[in-house]
Amino acid sequence: MTPMPLSPSRQSTPHAPSRRTLLAGVLSGAAVATLGTPVPVAVADSEGRAGRPTLPPPDARALRAAIDDLDHPRASGVQLRVSGSAGRWYGTSGVSDPATGRPVGLNDKVRAGSVTKAFVATAVLQLADEGRLSLEAPVRHYLPALLPERFGSITVAQLLNHTSGLPDHVGLPDMSTPQDVLRHRFDRWTPQQIVATVTGGEPKFRPGTKQEYRGINYVLAALVIEQVTGRPYGIEIRDRILRPLRLGHTSFPSAEGNPRHIRGPHMHGCLELSDGSLTDVTEFDMSVSHADGEIVSSTGDLHRFLSALFSGTLLPQRQLRRMFTLPPKHVRMLDGSPARYSTGLQTATVNGVTLWGKTGEQYGYASGMFATRDQQRRLVWSFTPVRLGADPSPMSQRIADAATLR
């Protein structure tokens, strides 16, 4: 059994929680895309030469053991869906609400964090396919008042695959302790104010030459959607994706005009204070994340979205290929490791099985949705870690490891 390498690097958005890139690395020997060439994982990683499935049915014992460990990291509850042509399994562990002891429900909603980006990227690619925007156009073509001229060469495509080179944030509140989070959790931000925290500096690198995972890229991408359509990006995604797929447990708080609350049954996000007690931080003004990570969803809805996306229901193949295409080989992460983010997704290889999908974090929440390209295996999870800054990757690693056993 091959362990999955997990990167300790953090997303450089100070307002976010740890934002480690779970499922971050690609094992040596995994295919890496060249420019314009999708990574060839649809058959080679999960099927034999004759096309017969090589992934067995999900290992229920291994999956149960993966989610029953609520100490590494310490978490109050977890839910996991494993599905696909090779079989399915569903399980929960712990409680959805530590205050009442209510068990985790089948369709409990969660704050899914950066999973938001996969929805935003899908909508941008739909608009590009309709000819309403150009992925190769400079972002300033759509948002001339927001980006200074020195950022004029950044394209929409470079926002989507995190090769923009935008500077670090300056002026966001310190959220390094649970008390800081409580103090600032109801702060109200506009996306324009968030963008203004990065535009005072100089580019970190020439656009397209390196990759750095940044939430600000998707705040800008959402503003491009709004400029092109004349509507809030969350409303546009609702009409393009949520309603057609009947994702009734998914919403974008900014589009509802009530960004603090989660309506209906949901898992509660909590943080451990210095005295060891837990405080509920489920209510949170998500305007500080916006299109970087504000989505509310459920494992069932994310499973349905992932299946529709990979099946080509949401995008034609010419656009869908972008979501399975990494930057050219010479484009590396800032730490020198291979690029691992495509348009809206990320990739990792576990036990020889290549997965594509997206992770996400918010205070008190961690989620992930991944699948093999041929959908023999899909896995969607959410859990509620309670320690601020704790590395959530041990849970995701156990889940991915157990879900890809052969």
CATH, residue 73: 3.40.710.10
Q: Count the domains in the chain.
A: 1
Please give the Cα distance from 185 to 30 (Å, whole number).
41
Any domain includes 304: yes
pLDDT band at 405 (very low <50, low <70, confident <90, very high): very high
Any domain includes 384: yes
Any domain includes 7: no
Quick check: 88 and 78 in contact, CB under 8 A? Answer: no
Q: What does the pLDDT read at residue 53?
A: 53
**241 DSSP assignment:** I
Angle, nearest 10°, between helix axes 299-311 and 116-129?
30
Any domain includes 22: no
Question: Which is nearest to 254 in space by CA: 228, 284, 230?
Answer: 284
Mean pLDDT value of segment 296-305: 98
Any domain includes 24: no
Angle at 203 between CA 200 and CA 208, to 5 degrees: 145
Q: What does the pLDDT read at residue 2?
A: 35
Name the residue with higher pLDDT: 337 or 32.
337
pTM: 0.90
Any domain includes 361: yes
Q: Please state, for a pLDDT cut of 70, what percent of the chain lies above it.
A: 87
Quick check: 120 and 104 in contact, CB under 8 A? Answer: no
Q: Identify the residue whose tokens are 């080989």.
A: 329
- The model's pLDDT over 160-198, given as tens digits with 9 standing for 90+, comes to 999 999 999 999 999 999 999 999 999 999 999 999 999
- The model's pLDDT over 197-209, given as tens digits with 9 standing for 90+, comes to 999 999 999 999 9
Mean pLDDT across the chain, nearest whole number?
Answer: 88
Residue 90 lies in domain: 60-403
Q: What does the pLDDT read at residue 255?
A: 86
Neighbours of 58 (CB within 10 A): 24
Q: What does the pLDDT read at residue 227?
A: 98
pLDDT band at 256 (very low <50, low <70, confident <90, very high): confident
Any domain includes 55: no
User: Which residues, 6 or more positions from 232, have their beta carbon under 8 angstroms from its beta carbon?
Assistant: 226, 254, 255
| AA identity, residue 354 | T
Any domain includes 48: no
